[in-house]
Structure 1
Amino acid sequence: MLTADLYFSFRSPYSYLAIGRYRALMESHAVEITLRPVWPLAIREPDFFERNHPNWLGYTVRDMMRVAQFHAIPFGPPRPDPIVQDVATRRIAQDQPFIRYVTRMGQAAARRGKGVAFAHEAAQLIWGGAENWHQGDHLANAAQRAGLDPEALDAEVAAQADTLDAEIAANQQALEDAGHWGVPTLVFDGEPFFGQDRIEMVRWRMEQKGLTPRA
């Protein structure tokens, strides 16, 4: 059984565009992929969007939409955005309840070996355009679909927020130690593969190391 780590952000559209395909690879082949959630750039570098090139946002939106169309992945604007941000100024708010909660849920799911499944289910809500994905039973149902107990997950997030945050910070450090800083990045056998467009290359490398279909 091969193993790999997937560094993932719930605010990253490219993480969303990769997660279902990595989940499918894990389900069809003998490889275990461990989710390593990290805080998005908006948390780690709040001034990132303010100092970026003016064309960056427009191009990124165009590109993410065509990638979704190319792979036939449902894609809609997050409602709401996981990051609380002023659209006009791009300034990031100090209080970030949505991204902190769902990222902690992802880390709690990863503790149980269900991180990839939960990230895929939750990301489909966020980036698939589910309205008010953060309210009601949306995330609880996502946890159930991933094979998790949503009440236990929620209780753990409430009781162990600081510990989960420390684990999320450690994930970011591990990503940087592996040789990258952005997401989605899959690290296999010490080698980082950054971007949703590296999945076929990941599979090629894994096949060199003995990747086989699941029986």
Structure 2
Amino acid sequence: MKQQRRPRLYFSFRSPYSWLAIHRLRREVPDFFDRVDFFPYWDPDAQTTAALAERGAELHYAQMSRAKHFYILQDTKRLAGQAGMAMAWPIDVDPWWELPHLAWLSARRAGRAVPFYDALVAARWERGEDICTPDVITKAATTADFDPALAQAAPDDAEIRAEGTDCLAAAYDDDVFGIPYLRWGRHRFWGLDRVDHFLAAWQPDADPPAGPTGVPEAVAAGVPFDTDTAGGCG
């Protein structure tokens, strides 16, 4: 079977393991953003859910127990420390995940995908800010030299909404059930602990990664601390 020429990465600004995985991938492959197709993944609002339903698509991930939720919070903090990364827990109050994820799609259209991604994860995981709020989105866009007005208007842009629906529909078609999730041809890799496996399959002639991720299999996907129902890693 012929491999796809470019891998797909499904990521979420909500998931700390997505943040950690992309950090590691970029450390090993500095031009990773240029060589992989990025698909944002999030808990959709009613409008996006309806658009997905019209296409016969939905999300595959299942809710997790409260005990597992809090274990993952502790584990992520530990892993960030091992990687030498500062981390602050964000507190999400009624988060509207369309805003950061659709704003990122808008930034990608404007050629500012990487700096806007960096600004958002810095706000969320380094400073514990709520990236689902207009003020934080505006600051992140300004930092990334991306028009804040375009970032704010992304959920109201029909073309950006459709692109977001395409991303979630692709996740459904690719059987994505947790984040981060990498797909390259027939190969699929779920979670931070599979990053090294992906790199070995994708770049078999490259030097081995700098070190193991050290993430137990059972905690390969997770969620940040928030005030909604403890659950999936979307």
Q: Which residue of structure 2 lines up, in the alignment, with residue 143 of structure 1?
A: 144
Amino acid at match of 1:199: V
Distance 2:33 2:45 in 1: 35
Alignment of 1:167-186 (within 5 A): 167-186=163-182
Counterpart of 1:59 (choices 52, 57, 71) is: 71
Answer 1 or 2: which has greater helix percent: 1
Distance 1:42 1:157 in 2: 14
Q: Which residue of structure 1 lines up, in the alignment, with residue 226 of structure 2?
A: none
Amino acid at match of 2:6: T
Distance 1:29 1:38 in 2: 18
Q: Which residue of structure 2 lines up, in the alignment, with residue 14 of structure 1?
A: 17
SS at match of 1:140: helix
Distance 1:29 1:14 in 2: 17
Amino acid at match of 2:98: R
More deviation, 67-76/19-28:
19-28
Q: Does 1:191 align with 2:187?
A: yes
Q: TM-score, normalised by structure 2?
A: 0.66
Q: TM-score, normalised by structure 1?
A: 0.71
Note the C-alpha offset of 1:68: 0.8
Alignment of 1:48-197 (within 5 A): 52-78=64-90, 80-81=91-92, 84=94, 96-97=95-96, 99-112=97-110, 114-131=112-129, 134=133, 135=135, 137-144=138-145, 149-151=146-148, 153-154=150-151, 157=154, 160=157, 162-197=158-193
SS at match of 2:7: strand
Note the C-alpha offset of 1:69: 1.2
Distance 1:19 1:121 in 2: 14
Note the C-alpha offset of 1:61: 0.9
Deviations 1:50-85 (A, max 9, x none): xx323122211111111111211221111x42x51x
SS at match of 1:27: coil
Distance 1:18 1:174 in 2: 20
Distance 1:142 1:13 in 2: 21
User: Could you tell me whether the CA contact under 8 Å between 2:182 and 2:189 is conserved in 1?
Assistant: yes
CA 1:190–1:124: 2 relative to 1, 3 Å: farther
Deviations 1:179-209 (A, max 9, x none): 322211122234221112222111111113x
Distance 2:45 2:151 in 1: 24
SS at match of 1:157: helix
Note the C-alpha offset of 1:154: 2.5
Gaps of 5+ in 2: 50-58, 208-234
Gaps of 5+ in 1: 85-95
